[in-house]
Amino acid sequence: MKQIMRKLSFFVLALFAISTVIAQETTTKTKQKKIYNITDRSGDHLMFQIAANFWPGAPDSISSHIKSFNRSANLYVMINKPFKSNPQYSFAFGAGISTSNIYFKNMEVGITSTTPTLPFKATDSSNHFKKYKLTTAYLEIPVEFRFTSNPETPSKSWKVALGAKVGTMLNAHTKAKNLLTPNGGTINEYTQKMGSKSFFNTTRLSATARVGYGNFSLFSSFALGNLFKDGVAHPVKPFQIGLCLSGL
């Protein structure tokens, strides 16, 4: 977990550094204030993200059963509002859907349980599912403060964005496929899907950051609150790192 947090901190610090360098380069190249013509530029943009998911804070008894690559996708519709004094800077807001998939090996998560705590059941030495994942989905409102090195040609510009997003949980479910014996023999080939939001905090606030060139950027999203309700499971604050495709 410490290694992951160090990487996240380095990522955020790198964003600030890149933003400062870009701004300095732009100021150096233009001794007088440049007038940008952005009348033909659309203010609405789709923002599509594919990401790797992480659960920092999860105890070893759980993290040892989480597979190494946990993927997800996010999609937002954004409205960009450039500053009149300097259109290199802008404020953006929008709405969209964020998803997260955590894949487990030899573990089941009892999100439909009636127990006071959320069961994480290890199945190393018992019947287990070949594939097992926990999926969460949120309706979110993201906001960003953006810098674009040349707003007249956003597809050929450096871009940096810092922001936040608030969301409400739409769905939480587990999906399991193909029940196996402890030795890996097939017992039954079927799919089991179970859903419940009772153990989860259904409101989420996250900090976000992006840096890139043209239509592509690297992004990070870090939840500021716990995924689970207090007392039902070990505190976990998920975060994502991935690739973003957007006009801005």
Phi, then psi, of 245 in degrees rounded to 5? -115, 120
Q: What is the mean pLDDT of residues 63-92?
A: 92
Say yes or no to pLDDT of 86 above 80.
yes
Per-residue pLDDT at 104 exceeds 60 = yes
How high is the pLDDT of residue 30?
46
For residue 60, the model assigns a pLDDT of: 95
Separation between Cα atoms, residue 76 and residue 175, nearest integer Å: 25
Q: Supply the range of the domain harboring residue 58.
A: 2-246
Q: Give the tens place of pLDDT for each residue, 199-215.
A: 999 999 999 999 999 99
The total of other beta-carbon atoms located within 10 Å of residue 2's CB is 7
Calculate mean pLDDT across residues 112-120.
96
Q: What is the pLDDT of residues 128-185, one digit of tens each?
A: 999 999 999 999 999 999 999 888 888 889 999 999 999 999 999 999 999 999 999 9
How many domains in the chain? 1
pLDDT tens per residue across span 36-57: 666 666 566 899 999 999 999 8
